[in-house]
Structure 1
Amino acid sequence: MPVTSRSGDRVHVRAPGKLNVFFEVGDVQEDGYHDVASAYQAVSLYEDLWAEPADDFSVSVTGTVDVDAVPADDRNLALRAARLVAAQIGHTGGVHLEIVKHVPVAGGMGGGSADAAAALVACDALWGAELGNAQLQRLASRLGADVPFALMGGTAIGTGRGDQLNPALAKGRFEWVIVTAEGGLSTPEVYQRLDTLRADHAPDIAPARAPEVDAAVLHALRAGSASALAARMRNDLQAAALSLRPDLSETLQLGAGAGAIVGIVSGSGPTVAFLADGPEKAFELQVTLAALGRTALHVHGPVPGARLV
């Protein structure tokens, strides 16, 4: 039976960006994708999405970050998410999505995936679908590797393409300072550069086995120890991102000199994340990096996934 909207409803959902505190990349597979093993943490930098009934499907995008590269047609992941929900429940109308972005675009923090997760939750609520978490997760996995985690939030281990998730216990609160960069990096291009680097330098950085998350990372998260996590943080995409954006090396050096426990390129970059030893140290680090001309934001994790506001 087709589902129709409740007239006059307007739904607001907030979804978090993410950091990969550990990211190991395996060999490229026959389908062109790479197997990965990731420890994700959702952080307090959010995307806001409003959904309201409409005759057709449309999206508008604004934000505190540069949104010029965000498509407003069917290439938009949130719009594709809305169409998936409609097809799943037999919804005969449309929806207008209004997105206000705060997560850097093409910055390695999963902003587009957060938009998609928010759209799934918003349309489910707007249309009274009550699909439930399991069905929403299945739809999320059809949209991209990071969408299921944006839906889940918290801290999780991702395997396969990163979308096979298992929640991970994380005690306490981790303090991060993220530094955004002008212009994004293409995730496929970063993976291609990694493949090239591995071919050129094998066996130095080529994977020797199937990717897996270091058990010490799980212990550090469970203990809530920033210093223990810092000792084991890793991102196999970092060398490729630095190869494409050498300026990020300077940012990493500045953060290290300004008191960060450790710095890492987030996902495929170019956002750089610094782990700090508590909120006061994070504030000092943010102020110092801002004084050095960097756009620095103090965030914390873990936080919940996409939620109605």
Structure 2
Amino acid sequence: MAMTVDSLGVGTHLSDNNSILKASENRGSMVTLIRSSFGFATKPSSILHKRQTLSSVATITPRASSATAVEDPSHGETDTIPTPVVIVDQDSDPSATVVEITFGDRLGALLDTMNALKNLGLNVVKANVFLDSSGKHNKFAITKEDTGRKVEDPELLEAIRLTIINNMIQYHPESSAQLAMGVAFGVVPPEQQVDVDVATHISIYDDGPDRSLLYVETADRPGLLVDLVKIITDINIDVKSGEFDTEGLLAKAKFHVSYRDKAIMKPLQQVLGNSLRYFLRRPTTEEASF
């Protein structure tokens, strides 16, 4: 059973209560699966130095505004809450960014989510809804409104991710306890926490003569995708492509990286690994007091 909608022209704007930038400062953990793969047409470091960009492209609604937010009011608190799944895919369509959202059978047509994406300067050019044993899947392709091309800006990809999650919290408040953003503006924050020092693992492997594969596993939080790319590019390493997964409370990022169009040599691998570990470590009391 499937439904397809092409060339959707929808538009609205989000609440001004809290910005994505504020949410990105929160280091809560995320109990969901969020997968984002991406590629960069140009070196991204020039667009990542001003963190204010995130707050200018989208804002956050702190909680669901009414009980009608849940698609099916028959779902009670005693029901098993399905695992939210959000996939932002840069690989399957050469001309568009593909987004897929699943939350059991609780999701509707997600018109409000598509409206919110329109407010980010995006067009929803195709939408498809299909059912399988895991629930109702809402899949749609988006492009940038000004260029008609797929999204390649890491900050905008992160804004897309947070906008989708915010809308899920707004219209399905029962998902708040499963999402890291529940700490910042959800109804119920997640009960579990992850020790970032224990959870963080970083590995770098050669992946051919012209690139290396960087793998980062750490505690998830809003804004992590943007920060990781900034750290990498700040030491003049190019990010060619990548995949960003959040599984349970952990974020798992894979980046294809290079230095001057070559695989990263061992000394620079050590510099990159140390830079990432320094950034991802648990803040000390002395540092936090300044």
The answer, yes or no, to whether TM exceeds 0.5 is: no
What's the TM-score bracket when you normalise by the shorter of the two chains?
under 0.3
Provide TM-score, normalisation by structure 1. Answer: 0.25
TM-score of the two chains, using structure 2 as the length reference: 0.26
